[in-house]
Amino acid sequence: MHGLYVHIPFCMRKCGYCDFASTDRWNSEDLAAYMGALAGEISRRGHEAGESLSSLYVGGGTPTVLTPALWEELFGAIHRQYSLDPDAEITVEANPGTLNEEGLRHLRLLGVNRLSLGVQSFDDRELAAMGRIHTGSQARQMVRLAAQAGFANLSIDLMQGVPEQTEDSFRSSLSEAAGLPLTHVSVYELKIEPDTAFFTRQQQGRLDLPADGVLSGMDGLREQILGEAGFGRYEISNYARPGQESRHNLLYWRNRMYTGVGLAACSRVPGKRITNTTDMVEYIRAHRDNRLPDALVEPVDRAMALEEELFLGLRLQEGIRAKDLQERHGVDLFAQYAGPIRQMTDEGLLSISGEGICLTRRGMDWANRVMTAFMR
Ligand code: SF4
């Protein structure tokens, strides 16, 4: 199994909380130069997979700023370099403010079979406070149009703990999600990152966020509303209908191999992790010089690979299976980690099944504490 991630770092407007590698300062020439460099990187990295792709994920940024011609070129470059499994999951991230029926039809024709919509909220006050370019009604409409266009596998992102949000408004966004033809919902808690507009406002005392008590109430709401609507929590922040878990993201959490192309993209290939430059000028220069845009190549030895597998696997509801750890790393889970397993089960944060270990419902809210215990 190998996945390919493609990063499109352009947005219509920078959201107040966003520290992703994305910019709203670009024109059609920048876009063309970047897409040329991206196609070059795809062809230079093609050998890393060594097998056909089980998943392709085009994320950003806002990939749906691409014109139909640029989409054709991108998929042409990918198909020249990689073969895809017949049932490969092909996801595109979309911003509800940048897509229409024609765009949806075109994505379907390209073979895209999963859409991930950056909805964030259905509440107009919250959306405006976050700096999003769409309204709640545009988001609702986009989900319906995507379903009509044949996207049977549809995901949205929601955010928790954002300015203007109350328990009621969060409940209402979750209920809207539960009533739409979705297969997957990601719910991310707002984190204030440096170099964002929210960070500056917080430093100036101008950012009003929901109080801690309100936030903890929200955790219970998402479990209840999404659970009752048939979505299972399969990862700390992710809920899916049975069998509709994100196969691409499962590659990350199961510590499998993937190639990332584009600005700031990461690859995990046997024995190393590669991180691309975050500097757009350098990214395009690397292409012109006929070299890869690597900024960092880190060797990953056996001990690091084991640590990664524990750290990532604990995020998943399925947890870590002793048999997998034995086969992949030659490690006896219950012998090597007897101390943290005992401590975390005593605290009610971890449970032991016949096959391995996983976080309890409470453990999902205290995941960092559990992970730290295993890393000591
Ligand atoms: S649309 Fe997404 S990537 Fe772009 S600025 Fe907003 S949050 Fe960041």
From residue 9, give the alpha-carbon distance in Å to each of 23, 36, 45, 154.
6, 14, 19, 22
Residue 49 has phi, psi (to 5 degrees) of -70, -50
Helix (H, G, I), strand (E, B) or coil at 171: helix
Q: Residue 255 region, left (φ>0) first, then alpha (ψ -120 to 50), else beta?
A: left
Q: What is the distance, to the nearest Å, from the Cα of residue 205 to the centroid of all Cα atoms in its chain?
A: 30
pLDDT of residue 97: 87
pLDDT of residue 111: 98
pLDDT of residue 191: 96
Burial 155-164 (b: 16+ CB within 10 A, else e): bbbbbbbbbb
pLDDT of residue 46: 82
95 close to ligand 1 (CB < 6 Angstrom) = yes
CB 128 within 8 A of CB 16: no
91 close to ligand 1 (CB < 6 Angstrom) = no
pTM: 0.96
Burial 114-150 (b: 16+ CB within 10 A, else e): bbbbbbbbbbeebbebbebbbbbebbbebbebbbebe
How many other β-carbons are positioned within 10 Å of the β-carbon of residue 184?
Answer: 23
Distance 196 CA to ligand 1 centre (A): 11
DSSP secondary structure of 75-114 = HHHHHHH--EEEEEEEEEEE-GGG--HHHHHHHHHTT--E
Distance 189 CA to ligand 1 centre (A): 15
Cα angle, residue 288 at apex, residues 286 and 293 outer, rounded to 5°:
15
List of domains in the chain: 2-252 (3.20.20.70), 302-375 (1.10.10.920)
Structure tokens at 354: 């016949």
Q: Which atom of ligand 1 is nearest to the CA of 18?
A: 8
pLDDT of residue 288: 97
20 close to ligand 1 (CB < 6 Angstrom) = yes
pLDDT of residue 87: 97
Mean pLDDT by runs of 10 across the 376 residues of the chain is: 97 96 96 98 86 96 96 97 96 94 97 98 98 96 97 98 97 98 97 97 96 89 96 97 98 95 97 97 97 97 93 94 94 95 96 92 91 86
pLDDT of residue 365: 87
Distance CA(321)–CA(234), nearest Å, equals 15
Q: What is the pLDDT of residues 136-195, one digit of tens each?
A: 999 999 999 999 999 999 999 999 999 999 999 999 999 999 999 999 999 999 999 999
- Of the candidates 150, 156, 153, 145, the residue with the CA atom closest to the CA atom of residue 101: 145
Nearest CA to ligand 1 atom 5: 14
Distance 332 CA to ligand 1 centre (A): 42
Nearest CA to ligand 1 atom 6: 15
- Of the candidates 266, 285, 287, 283, the residue with the CA atom closest to the CA atom of residue 275: 266
62 close to ligand 1 (CB < 6 Angstrom) = yes
